[in-house]
Amino acid sequence: MPEPLRVGVLASGRGSNFRALVEAAHAGRIPATMVVLISDRETAPALAIARNHGIEALFLDPQQYPSREAHEKAIIGALEERGVDLVCHAGYMRILTPAYVAHFRGRAFNIHPSLLPAFPGLHAQRQALAHGVRVAGATVHFVDEGVDSGPIVLQAAVPVLAGDTEESLAQRILVEEHRIYPEAVRLFAEGRLHIEGRIVQIRESR
């Protein structure tokens, strides 16, 4: 048996995607160990989820560093010290520096609550409702220099229903997020993802 993939997660808030990853790993559905949860917000519920599951919870306060670069350098250092193979951004609300993106190219994922490239950035569900789309969804993608713009790994669609509010649509999308994020990590752990330009090939399992 190969060693399980070592995953670090960055989250600024609620942490429900982090929880989904933790539960999938604990249930043996993905050959991965969550080694650390890093947050830029001291009160992020994600930190408590980590502690409750016996996972190291690290608050790295951006205000304690002279620059964005220095804060990210500390994050990179913490992830490398722990031998992280894959970083999962799960509701991490900071713009990343090019140095960070370059460091983790091909080994950092993000999840976004829209069918990218539609509706990147903040309030994706609100944007989808305002645009009047009939289908919304979620995307797991590799992190690149842009905002929610990297090569797409997995997507899932949900219908937009009459009378949907931002909250009801977000909730329907979230169910799919919790399904496809662990699935994407599993594909990565199995070495089945190959990036060619902006296309991600998913190879058959050996």
Tokens read off for 85? 């193979």
Please report, as residue ranges, which positions from 147 to 186 form the binding site for ligand GRF (by CB under 6 A).
177
Catalytic residue among 71, 89, 103, 112: 112
112 an active-site residue? yes
Q: Is 14 in the site for ligand GRF (CB under 6 A)?
A: yes
Task: Show the tokens assigned to 205.
Answer: 């399992």
In the complex with ligand GRF, the residue whose CB is nearer, 164 or 177, is 177
Look-up of token digits 């009378």: 163
Secondary structure of residue 4 in the 3-state scheme: coil
CB count in 10 Å sphere of residue 174: 18
What's the closest the beta carbon of residue 112 comes to ligand GRF, in angstroms? 5
The verdict on 90 binding ligand GRF (CB under 6 A) reads yes
Q: Given candidates 5, 86, 113, 158, which one binds ligand GRF under the rule CB under 6 A?
A: 113
Which of 8, 15, 150, 182 touches ligand GRF by CB under 6 A?
15
3-state secondary structure 66-79: CCHHHHHHHHHHHH
CA angle, residues 194, 113, 62, in degrees to nearest 5: 85
- Residue ranges in 24-53 that form contacts with ligand GRF under rule CB under 6 A: none
Q: Which residues are catalytic?
A: 112
